[in-house]
Structure formats: C-alpha cells, structure tokens
Structure 1
Amino acid sequence: MSSYFIYGDIGGTKTLLRTMVSDKDKTEPCYEWRYDSQAYADFNEILADFLDKTGMNKTNRYPTSACFGIAGPIVSQRAKLTNLPWLMDASALATEFSIPKVKLINDFEAVAIGIERLSRNDLATLQWGVADAQAMRVVLGAGTGMGVAWLHWQGDRYIPLPTEGGHIEFAPTTSLQMELLDYLMKKFDHVSVERILSGPGLTNIFNFLQNDSTRFPGIVVNELKEDSGAIITKLAFEQKHPIAQQALELFVEIYGAYAGNLALLGLCRGGVYIAGGIAPRIIDTLMKGSFMHAFCNKGRYTGMMSEIPVHVIMNPQVGLLGAGLEAQRLISNCT
C-alpha cells in the first residue's frame, strides 16, 4: 500500500513544500510548490493551499506523515519563527489537517540530516583535510539569519543537534572588526554573530564602511535598507564597487573565523559544512583564501584546523531533502 508524506523547508523569505509517495522500496516526488513566506499570515494558510493544489484534501491520498524544517527554535513541538510572526504547533497541524504524524525540526537540523543525501557534485570543497569517520560535524550557514547544527554519530548514523549558535556574541579579531562592533553596539543592545553573518548583516557591514567618509573619499551611497545583501553582492561582482567589495571581504573574513570557532569548539574532525543561501552566490570569494586563513588561524591549534575538511553546500534544497528523509522515517511509526 502506498504512503504519502509531506515535507517542507520554511524560512523567513520562502517556504518550499513537497509531497512524495512511498511504495515498498520506491519513493517518488509527486508535487512541489514554492511560497513567499512574507505574503501569508500563518503557515496554516500555506499548507491548506498546498493540500488544495495537490488534491489531497479531495481524494483518498491522505498524507501519513509530515515534517517541516523551521527557521527558529522548537520547544515541545511548537515554534515561533525568528523572522516571521508565525506560531506553529505540530499537534494542532495534525488535528486540523488530519495528518497522523507531524514533526517540526529546526531548519539547520533539517540541513544537517540532508547532508547524507548529498552527492560529491553538491559540494564545493574549500579544504579537503583528513576526514575522521564518525567524528563530530558542524553545519552553519548565513541567509536571512545564521543557522548552526551539530552532527554526532550514534548507532549507525549521524544524529543532528539543533542550536541557536547564530545568536552568540560577535568576537572581533582585528582593529577594523572592533570598529564594526563599536558601530553596531550603538544600534543594537546585543551584537550577535547573526547581526553580521546574514543578509541583513552584510548590509550592516556595508553601512558601517560607508559611514566614515574618510574610508572612500568621493564615493557617496545612500544607506541601504535592512536586508540588501543581494544588492551588495551585485555591486561587488558586477560593478566592482569598492565599498561593496570591502564589505564582502570583511564578511568572508568574519565568516571563516566563526566557522573555525565552531569547528574548534566541537572538535569537528568529521567536517564543516557551509550552507545557507549566501555561500553559493559568493563561492569565488570564499575560494580566494581569506575564509580559510581566518578559519585556520587559531594559534596553537592552527595545524589541527588545517586537517578539518571544509565544504560549501551548493544544493539549495538540502534542508528540504533532510525534512523529507525525516518524514519518511516517521512513516514506519505510523503504520
């Protein structure tokens, strides 16, 4: 008998939903739809529309399970999204939409799970290192926010440990970064890593650099809006805009140091995986060397850091793949 399951990647910018059918040893996708998250008052509206589009609310193809990767912390299977005014409750969703098993997972927990579904072609390697089988891994990524998840080996597979590591304090390592921290402390009560390593964070860096007219005399740019990361990367790559170029260089330098801190904290000899929407768009800059220099620059542990594999995830659907794998695992608990 065929089983249908729904899974999704839910973020502050977009929501991507997919349904698949599992029949014996064969699993195939049935339907997929992308939504603008900001255009909906809550997730229930999106799920209702998705079920209507797939016809699942009109036929006997009722979903057996559902798993959703969410940009925010999960507490008792309830989640308040970090960058959206949505409150999601797994039990309420299961009741309203008659789905026997619904599970909410952190978006970077979903990314972490999805790594095992990636091929070599889905990765761009910054440092091959020497991978230690079954050792700790860490996944991090800048997008609308900064997500972080650990992966530890348990039994016969890696188990994800979701975190809110993007909200720890920013630790500057150069005089320019200290000036950046001082600038941001005047704007925010708490200067987290996410205030810098995200789309809005790249905008903060750009506005900081142009705030001092002596840095780039004769160049005048109006202060950019909160999340103008895409505009800045376009200015840097296509127009060779000096402020945008330096903003991107500073962003990458801080990104590398932060990734190195996480790798050192978890002794992640199993590998570091850079996810999120920004990294693939700036892969050429990440490859130039400043990211890895900052990553490895850990004093007495520099040698060890040079042995840790570092990869950039180029597949934008890795979180969706992870949520799908978890939804598929739920089926065995529902039948």
Structure 2
Amino acid sequence: MILAGDIGGTKTVLALLDRGADGLLTCVREQTFASGEYDSFDEVLALFLPENAKIAAACFGVAGPVVDQRCFATNLSWTLDGEELKVQLGTERVRLLNDLEAMAVGMLYLNPDDFIELNPDAEPQSGNIAVIAAGTGLGEAILYWDGRRHHPIATEGGHCSFAPQNSQQEQLLRYLRGLYPRHVSCERILSGIGFSNLYDFLLENQFAPACPAVPSAAESSHGSGVDRNAVISRLGIEGEDALCVEVVRLFVEIYAAEASNLVLKAFATGGVFIGGGIGPKIRSAMENGAFMQAFSAKGRFQPLLGKMSVKLALNQRTPLIGAMHYYSAD
C-alpha cells in the first residue's frame, strides 16, 4: 500500500492507497486531523494506520522547508524525519516534500476540468512549468522538464523581496517597510494577510473611506471573531465597496507580476499553474484580463509571456494528489 499525506498547520490529511494490477490507485482510507490537537506526527500516524498495515511507499507534503529529508513543520511543533519514518513504516521508499513540491506534482495528475485557462491567446508548448500558490502564505515551485517527464523542485521564492512596478506600488513598499522594517517579502502581500495590508495602505493613502463592514486593524487584533481578510476580498469581488475593490485589483496586479517573475527565472516555457486557496475565491478578478495584462508586462519578453499558458487550478486537494502519485513512475 501507498501512504500519502498533506501536512499543514491547520489540518493534516492522510490517505492509504492500493495499486491494482492495472497500475491504477484506489483510495482505501482517508482521514483529516486537526493538526494543532496533536503533539507529534507520530500520534496522527498511530491513529490512522491499521494494525499490521504493509506500507510499500510513503510520501508527505509538508508546510515547511525540507532539508536533508528533515522538516520542522511551519506553525506546528512537529519535526518529521525521513530516515526515522523509513524505520517506523518498514520501507526505504519514504519521501518528504515541501507542500508546494507536492502541489506541483499533483498539478500533473489533475483533470482538464480542474483548470481555468486565464490566457485566451495561450499557445501550449513543452518545457519547465512554474507553480505559484497564494494562500495562508505564498508558495512557489518549479516543474523541471527533462525532455520526457517533469520533476518537482522546491523553492522559498515567496520570501523574495517585493519589487514595485509603478508609483502606487512604490508607495505600498514604503508603507510596508514601516510594518516590516527588516524585509518586505512578496508573501506580505500575496497571502491571506495581504488583503489587510493592502486595505490599510489604501486607507492611509485616502484612496476611499473605510468600509463599515470591515473590522479595523485594532478590532481584528483583539479577536473580533471575523476573518478580516475574507471580508475584504469578498466585498471586493462582489463590488460592494470601492476600497475593497481596489484591494483585489492591486492584489491581482502584484500576483500576476510575481507569477511572471517566476516564469522568467525558471524559463518556464511550459506555462504556469496557479494553486492555493485564494485564486479560486477571486476567480472573476483573475479572469477579467487584468491578470494577463500585468503578467505579460515584462518589456522585451511581452511576446513570449503573452502566448504562455496560465492555468488556475480549482482542486484544493492537489498537494495530497501529488503525494499520492509521487512514486507512480516506479
């Protein structure tokens, strides 16, 4: 059997799969755990695995950097060690992946209807693929093309420095330096908290009056019970408040610019996969043409980027699917 997992700060999803004679995988068991309720990953494994389960291979996507097959899970007190898991599970085929690595693999196994093509002028071709995902944080990965198949490469590109593209974004950078004087990364904008950061910036710069439905930063910090970021993005998408509409527009503009930065660094002629939880929630703003306009605004490389496939993934199980299929080539 194959053991697969998607391990995050909020929840951990484990799946046990059987490979049939035809090579197809069948899910035998799947369970979701609230990560914060357990002191270690070992506790979760013990609850999930049936007695005497024979594991042939195991792969886990983990929210955190994986170094030498060891990972201290972000936002958890868990440490996962690949060598220890090999002994525990009784197999040499154990692999820890960064969650974006797992997502990148999973993208290759999604159905066509799990994607929305954002570029009406796309001319698909082979090559490396860039993977970017805004959610709780900003994740970035690369699918390297060797001429026959793709291989996932982890990065921590979401923590690279934010580079403004126009005068408004230059003002934004100055504002964010006041909040984060040591370093302003792209993740400070392209993540859940980014909606609040953009809202507060625009409010300070008097773009529009404050929205009565949005809790103030002070109220939010004292536990108002309302997801401020979700309220801002929803009002922006629904067009109910001018300030929130501009937040979403600016978010999309910066998201697109960072996506094409990753494309150029990876020379991802195979296109872009956009994952994470935020993209599908602001789908209408991603599809209205503004994303592709900002994505292709790279001077002499506009002709290349203007023909590139840019796909928004709608399936939120992609990291788990990637972990399930990591050993499928064996």
User: What is the TM-score normalised by the length of structure 1?
Assistant: 0.88
Greater CA drift, 225-234 or 264-273: 225-234
1:181 correspondence with 2:192: no
Q: Secondary structure at the match of 1:63?
A: coil
CA displacement at 1:18 relative to structure 2: 0.9
Residue type at the aligned position of 1:30: V
- Indicate the residue corresponding to 1:111 in structure 2: 103
Change in CA separation of 1:219 and 1:273 when aligned onto 2, cut-off 3 Å:
closer
Q: Which moved more, 1:230-239 or 1:124-133?
A: 230-239
Task: Report the counterpart of residue 324 of structure 2 in structure 1.
Answer: 324
The equivalent position to 1:42 in structure 2, one of 34, 40, 43, is: 40
Q: Is the 8 A contact 2:64 2:71 kept in 1?
A: yes
| Aligned-pair CA distance for 1:264 | 1.9
Aligned equivalent of 1:288 = 288
Match in the other structure for 1:234 = 234
Equivalents in 2 of 1:239, 1:35: separation in Å? 36
Deviation at 1:243, TM superposition (A): 2.3
Number of residue pairs the alignment of both structures matches: 319
Tell me the equivalent position of 2:216.
222
> Does structure 1 conserve the Cα–Cα contact (< 8 Å) formed by 2:233 and 2:247?
no
Post-superposition offset of 1:328? 4.4
Distance 1:237 1:306, change over 3 A: closer
The residue identity in structure 2 corresponding to 1:246 is E
1:29 aligns with 2:22: no
Is 1:7–1:327's contact at 8 Å kept on the other side of the alignment? no
Unaligned 5+ segments in structure 2 are: none
Residue 33 of structure 1, CA deviation: 1.4
**Letter paired with 1:117:** Y
The corresponding residue for 1:7 is 4
1:200 maps to 193
CA deviation vs aligned residue, 1:101-154 (integer Å, no higher than 9, x gap): 321011111111112211210110001521222x11111110111111111222
Q: Deviations over 1:201-231 (max 9, x none)?
A: 222212222234x332364541145974323
- Cα distance, 1:323 vs. partner? 0.6
Structure 2 distance, partners of 1:218, 1:205, is 13
Aligned-pair CA distance for 1:316: 1.1
Match of 2:130 in 1: 138
Residue from 87, 91, 99 that aligns with 1:95? 87
Deviations 1:84-103 (Å, cap 9, x if unpaired)? Answer: 33321112233345455321
Deviation for aligned residue 1:311: 0.5
Q: Which runs of 5 or more structure 1 residues have no equivalent in the other structure? A: none
Question: What residue is the counterpart of 1:305 in the other structure?
Answer: 305
Which whole-Å CA distance do the structure 2 matches of 1:20 and 1:219 have between them? Answer: 48
Amino acid at match of 1:200: I
Is 1:66 aligned with 2:58?
yes
Which amino acid letter does the alignment assign opposite residue 205 of structure 1? L
**Which SS does the other structure have where 1:206 is aligned?**
helix
Please tell me whether the aligned partners of residues 141 and 147 of structure 1 are also in contact (alpha carbons under 8 angstroms): yes
- The SS at the match of 1:117 is coil
Label 1:203 to 1:156 Cα distance change in 2 as closer, same or farther (>3 A): same
TM-superposition CA deviations, 1:126-185 (whole Å, max 9, x none):
01521222x111111101111111112225211111111101000011222112211111
- Mean alpha-carbon deviation: is it higher for 237-246 or for 112-121? 237-246
Q: In structure 2, what is the Cα distance between the partners aligned to 1:191 and 1:124?
A: 31
Superposition CA RMSD, Å: 2.1
Structure-2 residue corresponding to 1:80: 72
